[in-house]
Amino acid sequence: MKKIINTKNAPKAIGPYSQAVETNGMLFISEQVPIDPETGKIVEGGVAEQTEQEMKNIEAILKAAGYTFDDVVKSTCLLSDMDNFAAMNEVYAKYYPENPPARAAYSVVKLPLGALIGIETIAAKKN
């Protein structure tokens, strides 16, 4: 059985998808873009500011579903420019100081709404 997760503390979906779906003790969080849920707009600044907002959005969804960053097992980071990797990585690392999840990072041609970064996340309940 799947459970749809939605929280007002993260941006609304900008298409026909859910913020997250939980099934069998696993949480699949859709790619987040750096939208401030209060303004509905992408945060100003560079990739560091956008990554910070993304991580806050992911944290809000994790919390709404009863998970934490400790439960994250896989992240996929999509960058509009691989030259932004180091700045993204510096912010991302603050959220995973120990035992970070598996991760992939790709450069893509374009992200929704002109974002510089997009991150999707998978979390699992510990046994």
Domain of residue 15: give its range: 2-124
Q: Please give the model's pTM, rounded to 2 decimal places.
A: 0.95
CATH label of the domain that carries residue 112: 3.30.1330.40
Q: What is the rounded distance in angstroms from the CA atom of residue 7 to the CA atom of residue 76?
A: 21
Whether 17 and 10 have beta carbons less than 8 Å apart is answered as no
Q: Which pLDDT score is estimated for 1?
A: 86
> Cα 19–59–77 angle (5° rounding)?
70
The model's pLDDT over 14-60, given as tens digits with 9 standing for 90+, comes to 889 999 999 999 999 999 999 999 999 999 999 999 999 999 999 99
The number of folded domains in the chain is 1
